[in-house]
Amino acid sequence: MRVAVVRFPGSNCDLDALRAAARAGADAFFVWHRERDLGQADAVLLPGGFAYGDYLRAGAIARFSPVMAAVEEHARAGGPVLGICNGFQVLCEAGLLPGALMRNAGLRFVSRPVAVRVEMTDTPFTSAYSKSAIIKLPVAHGEGRYVAAPSVLQVLEDEERVVLRYVGTNPNGSARDIAGIVNRERNVVGIMPHPERVADPAVGPTPGAGVFTSVVQCVELLGGGTA
Protein backbone atom coordinates (compact mmCIF):
# COMPACT_ATOMS: atom_id res chain seq x y z
CA MET A 1 0.00 0.00 0.00
CA ARG A 2 1.80 3.09 -1.27
CA VAL A 3 0.98 6.64 -0.18
CA ALA A 4 2.48 9.60 -2.02
CA VAL A 5 2.92 12.80 0.00
CA VAL A 6 3.21 15.69 -2.47
CA ARG A 7 5.82 18.28 -1.53
CA PHE A 8 5.44 21.78 -2.85
CA PRO A 9 8.09 24.36 -2.05
CA GLY A 10 6.59 25.81 1.14
CA SER A 11 4.82 22.65 2.26
CA ASN A 12 5.49 22.34 5.97
CA CYS A 13 3.30 19.49 7.20
CA ASP A 14 4.79 17.09 4.65
CA LEU A 15 6.93 15.16 7.11
CA ASP A 16 4.10 15.03 9.68
CA ALA A 17 1.77 13.52 7.05
CA LEU A 18 4.40 11.05 5.87
CA ARG A 19 5.04 9.83 9.41
CA ALA A 20 1.33 9.51 10.19
CA ALA A 21 0.76 7.43 7.05
CA ALA A 22 3.79 5.28 7.77
CA ARG A 23 2.61 4.72 11.32
CA ALA A 24 -0.68 3.41 9.92
CA GLY A 25 1.28 0.83 7.93
CA ALA A 26 1.59 2.56 4.57
CA ASP A 27 4.73 2.67 2.46
CA ALA A 28 4.78 6.48 2.41
CA PHE A 29 7.11 8.54 0.23
CA PHE A 30 7.55 12.12 -0.97
CA VAL A 31 6.81 13.30 -4.50
CA TRP A 32 8.42 16.63 -5.42
CA HIS A 33 6.18 19.19 -7.12
CA ARG A 34 8.16 19.01 -10.37
CA GLU A 35 7.51 15.29 -10.81
CA ARG A 36 4.95 14.21 -13.35
CA ASP A 37 4.14 10.81 -11.96
CA LEU A 38 3.12 9.61 -8.55
CA GLY A 39 5.34 6.55 -8.30
CA GLN A 40 2.42 4.11 -8.53
CA ALA A 41 0.82 5.49 -5.42
CA ASP A 42 -2.41 3.93 -4.23
CA ALA A 43 -3.36 7.11 -2.38
CA VAL A 44 -2.17 10.72 -2.44
CA LEU A 45 -1.84 13.23 0.39
CA LEU A 46 -1.55 16.97 -0.21
CA PRO A 47 -0.11 18.25 3.07
CA GLY A 48 -0.49 21.56 4.85
CA GLY A 49 1.81 24.53 4.56
CA PHE A 50 2.20 27.60 2.41
CA ALA A 51 2.82 26.24 -1.10
CA TYR A 52 4.88 28.76 -3.06
CA GLY A 53 4.46 31.08 -0.08
CA ASP A 54 0.72 31.52 -0.72
CA TYR A 55 1.40 35.18 -1.34
CA LEU A 56 -1.27 35.39 -4.05
CA ARG A 57 -4.06 33.25 -2.64
CA ALA A 58 -3.72 29.96 -0.82
CA GLY A 59 -3.20 27.16 -3.32
CA ALA A 60 -3.56 29.43 -6.35
CA ILE A 61 -0.06 28.77 -7.71
CA ALA A 62 0.28 25.19 -6.51
CA ARG A 63 -2.54 23.98 -8.73
CA PHE A 64 -0.39 24.78 -11.79
CA SER A 65 2.62 22.76 -10.65
CA PRO A 66 3.53 19.76 -12.82
CA VAL A 67 2.60 17.17 -10.20
CA MET A 68 -1.02 18.35 -10.10
CA ALA A 69 -1.74 16.88 -13.54
CA ALA A 70 -0.81 13.49 -12.13
CA VAL A 71 -2.91 14.10 -9.02
CA GLU A 72 -5.93 14.98 -11.17
CA GLU A 73 -5.46 11.87 -13.26
CA HIS A 74 -5.20 9.73 -10.12
CA ALA A 75 -8.38 11.33 -8.78
CA ARG A 76 -10.30 10.85 -12.04
CA ALA A 77 -9.32 7.19 -11.97
CA GLY A 78 -10.97 6.91 -8.56
CA GLY A 79 -7.79 6.91 -6.47
CA PRO A 80 -8.07 8.28 -2.94
CA VAL A 81 -6.78 11.85 -2.47
CA LEU A 82 -6.71 13.77 0.81
CA GLY A 83 -5.91 17.47 1.07
CA ILE A 84 -5.19 18.74 4.57
CA CYS A 85 -5.38 22.50 5.23
CA ASN A 86 -3.26 23.99 2.42
CA GLY A 87 -3.88 20.73 0.53
CA PHE A 88 -7.64 21.34 0.83
CA GLN A 89 -7.09 24.85 -0.54
CA VAL A 90 -5.11 23.41 -3.47
CA LEU A 91 -7.88 20.86 -4.25
CA CYS A 92 -10.48 23.65 -4.35
CA GLU A 93 -8.26 25.81 -6.56
CA ALA A 94 -7.70 22.84 -8.85
CA GLY A 95 -11.45 22.27 -9.16
CA LEU A 96 -11.27 18.78 -7.67
CA LEU A 97 -13.53 19.97 -4.86
CA PRO A 98 -16.24 22.65 -5.03
CA GLY A 99 -16.17 25.96 -3.16
CA ALA A 100 -13.27 27.97 -1.81
CA LEU A 101 -11.44 28.77 1.43
CA MET A 102 -11.40 32.43 2.35
CA ARG A 103 -9.77 34.53 5.08
CA ASN A 104 -10.99 33.54 8.54
CA ALA A 105 -14.00 35.51 9.74
CA GLY A 106 -11.88 37.09 12.53
CA LEU A 107 -9.22 38.10 9.96
CA ARG A 108 -6.58 36.51 12.16
CA PHE A 109 -4.69 33.24 11.97
CA VAL A 110 -6.32 30.71 14.32
CA SER A 111 -4.34 27.93 15.99
CA ARG A 112 -6.22 25.85 18.55
CA PRO A 113 -7.86 22.48 19.11
CA VAL A 114 -11.44 22.20 17.87
CA ALA A 115 -14.12 19.55 18.18
CA VAL A 116 -15.39 18.09 14.90
CA ARG A 117 -18.10 15.55 14.20
CA VAL A 118 -17.38 12.78 11.69
CA GLU A 119 -20.49 13.16 9.50
CA MET A 120 -19.62 10.58 6.87
CA THR A 121 -17.75 7.32 7.23
CA ASP A 122 -18.12 6.12 3.62
CA THR A 123 -14.96 7.90 2.46
CA PRO A 124 -11.50 6.36 2.19
CA PHE A 125 -10.25 8.65 4.96
CA THR A 126 -13.00 8.32 7.59
CA SER A 127 -14.06 4.67 7.38
CA ALA A 128 -12.25 3.77 10.60
CA TYR A 129 -14.41 6.19 12.64
CA SER A 130 -17.93 5.60 13.82
CA LYS A 131 -20.54 7.89 12.34
CA SER A 132 -21.20 11.01 14.43
CA ALA A 133 -18.08 10.46 16.52
CA ILE A 134 -16.81 13.74 17.95
CA ILE A 135 -13.03 14.06 17.85
CA LYS A 136 -10.68 16.86 18.86
CA LEU A 137 -8.24 17.97 16.19
CA PRO A 138 -5.97 21.01 15.93
CA VAL A 139 -6.59 23.72 13.34
CA ALA A 140 -3.95 26.24 12.31
CA HIS A 141 -4.83 28.47 9.40
CA GLY A 142 -5.48 32.00 8.24
CA GLU A 143 -7.69 31.05 5.30
CA GLY A 144 -10.05 28.32 6.40
CA ARG A 145 -13.51 29.80 6.00
CA TYR A 146 -15.29 27.44 3.63
CA VAL A 147 -17.62 29.22 1.22
CA ALA A 148 -19.68 28.05 -1.74
CA ALA A 149 -22.80 29.15 -3.57
CA PRO A 150 -26.01 28.32 -1.67
CA SER A 151 -26.96 25.79 -4.35
CA VAL A 152 -23.59 24.06 -3.97
CA LEU A 153 -23.96 23.95 -0.19
CA GLN A 154 -27.40 22.42 -0.63
CA VAL A 155 -26.01 19.77 -2.97
CA LEU A 156 -23.24 18.97 -0.48
CA GLU A 157 -25.85 18.42 2.23
CA ASP A 158 -28.29 16.52 -0.02
CA GLU A 159 -25.59 14.21 -1.28
CA GLU A 160 -24.15 13.80 2.23
CA ARG A 161 -20.76 15.11 1.22
CA VAL A 162 -19.91 17.08 4.36
CA VAL A 163 -17.31 14.82 5.99
CA LEU A 164 -16.32 16.83 9.08
CA ARG A 165 -18.29 19.56 10.81
CA TYR A 166 -17.18 21.87 13.64
CA VAL A 167 -19.08 21.32 16.88
CA GLY A 168 -19.33 24.09 19.46
CA THR A 169 -16.68 26.49 18.20
CA ASN A 170 -16.55 27.35 14.51
CA PRO A 171 -13.01 28.77 14.39
CA ASN A 172 -13.17 30.52 11.04
CA GLY A 173 -16.79 31.27 10.12
CA SER A 174 -17.15 28.40 7.63
CA ALA A 175 -20.55 28.02 6.01
CA ARG A 176 -22.65 25.42 7.83
CA ASP A 177 -19.71 24.74 10.16
CA ILE A 178 -18.05 22.75 7.38
CA ALA A 179 -14.58 21.47 8.28
CA GLY A 180 -14.23 18.96 5.44
CA ILE A 181 -15.97 17.74 2.29
CA VAL A 182 -15.74 14.95 -0.30
CA ASN A 183 -16.32 15.01 -4.05
CA ARG A 184 -19.32 13.36 -5.64
CA GLU A 185 -17.34 10.20 -6.44
CA ARG A 186 -16.34 10.04 -2.75
CA ASN A 187 -12.63 9.56 -3.36
CA VAL A 188 -11.28 13.13 -3.01
CA VAL A 189 -11.49 14.59 0.52
CA GLY A 190 -10.43 18.02 1.77
CA ILE A 191 -10.30 18.95 5.46
CA MET A 192 -9.02 21.99 7.35
CA PRO A 193 -8.06 20.34 10.69
CA HIS A 194 -4.74 18.50 11.03
CA PRO A 195 -5.23 14.82 11.96
CA GLU A 196 -1.53 14.12 11.29
CA ARG A 197 -0.59 16.23 14.32
CA VAL A 198 -2.51 14.02 16.71
CA ALA A 199 -1.54 10.61 15.42
CA ASP A 200 1.60 9.78 17.42
CA PRO A 201 1.07 8.02 20.77
CA ALA A 202 4.48 9.28 21.90
CA VAL A 203 3.11 12.84 21.88
CA GLY A 204 -0.35 12.24 23.34
CA PRO A 205 -3.85 11.04 22.44
CA THR A 206 -4.28 10.03 18.77
CA PRO A 207 -7.75 11.03 17.56
CA GLY A 208 -6.30 11.78 14.11
CA ALA A 209 -4.74 8.36 13.51
CA GLY A 210 -8.03 6.98 12.13
CA VAL A 211 -7.71 9.11 8.98
CA PHE A 212 -4.57 7.22 8.03
CA THR A 213 -5.67 3.75 9.13
CA SER A 214 -8.87 4.34 7.12
CA VAL A 215 -7.06 4.82 3.85
CA VAL A 216 -4.69 1.91 4.44
CA GLN A 217 -7.64 -0.40 5.14
CA CYS A 218 -9.68 0.90 2.20
CA VAL A 219 -6.90 0.40 -0.31
CA GLU A 220 -6.21 -3.07 0.99
CA LEU A 221 -9.92 -3.99 0.82
CA LEU A 222 -10.00 -2.83 -2.78
CA GLY A 223 -7.10 -5.13 -3.56
CA GLY A 224 -4.54 -2.35 -3.75
CA GLY A 225 -1.27 -2.45 -1.98
CA THR A 226 0.38 -4.67 -4.54
CA ALA A 227 3.64 -2.77 -4.14
Partner 1 sequence: MTRSRVEAFPGDPPITADLAREHGLNDEELRRIRAMLGRDPSLTELGVFSALWSEHCSYKHSKPVLALFPTTGRHVVQGPGENAGVLSLGDGWAVAFKIESHNHPSAVEPYQGAATGAGGILRDVFTMGARPVALLNSLRFGPLSDAHNRYLFAGVVRGIGDYGNCVGVPTVGGDVDFAPCYSGNPLVNAMCVGLLREDDLIRAAASGVGNVLIALGSRTGRDGIHGASFASEELTEASEERRPQVQVGDPFTEKLLLEASLELIASGHIVAIQDMGAAGITSSSAEMAARGGVGVEMDTALVPTREPGMSPYEILLSESQERMLVVALPDRVDEVQAIAAKWELEATAIGRVTDDGMFRVRHGGRVVAEIPGRQLLEACPVYTPEAREDPEIAVLRRQTPSTPDPEPEEALIGLLGAPPVASKRWVYQQYDSTVQAGTVTGPGGDAAVVLVPGTKRGIALATDCNARYVFLDPYEGGKAAVAEAARNVACTGARPIGITNCLNFGNPERAEVYFQFREACRGIGDACRVLETPVTGGNVSFYNESPTGAIYPTPVIGMVGLLEDVSRTVESHFAATGDVIILLGATHGHLGGSSYWAHVLEEVVGSPPPVDLAAERRLVYLLVALAEDELLTGAHDLADGGLGIALAEAAAGPPYAPAGFGAAIDLQPIGAGLGTQQLLFGEDQGRALVMTRPENAGAVLARAAQAEVPAAVLGHVTDSDGTLELVLPEHTVRLAVGRIRDVFFGAIAAVMETAVVEVGG
Length of the chain: 227
165 interacts with partner 1 by CB under 8 A: no
CA atoms in the 13 A half-sphere facing the CB of 146:
31
- All residues at 6 or more sequence positions from 181 whose CB lies less than 8 Å from its CB, including other chains: 97, 98, 99, 146, 156, 161, 162, 163, 189, 190
Distance, CA of 152 to CA of 161 (rounded, Å): 11
d(CA 108, CA 134): 26
**Does 194 interact with partner 1 (rule: CB under 8 A)?**
yes
Q: How far is the CB of 6 from partner 1 (least distance, A)?
A: 15
Q: Which of 111, 157, 159, 184 binds partner 1 (CB under 8 A)?
A: 111
- 35 as an active site residue: the answer is no
Our answer to whether residue 194 is catalytic in this structure is yes
In whole angstroms, what is the distance from residue 187 CA to residue 41 CA?
Answer: 14
- The helix/strand/coil state of 116 is strand
Point out which span in 69-77, 127-135, 192-200, 217-225 binds partner 1 (CB under 8 A).
Answer: 192-200
Residues 57-96 touching partner 1, rule: CB under 8 A, are none
The active-site residue, picked from 92, 143, 194, 218, is 194
- Residue from 27, 35, 37, 200 touching partner 1 (CB under 8 A): that is 200
State the residues that interact with partner 1 by CB under 8 A.
Answer: 9-10, 12-13, 15-16, 19-20, 48-50, 52-55, 108-113, 138, 140, 142, 168, 194, 196-200, 202-204
Catalytic residues: 85, 194, 196
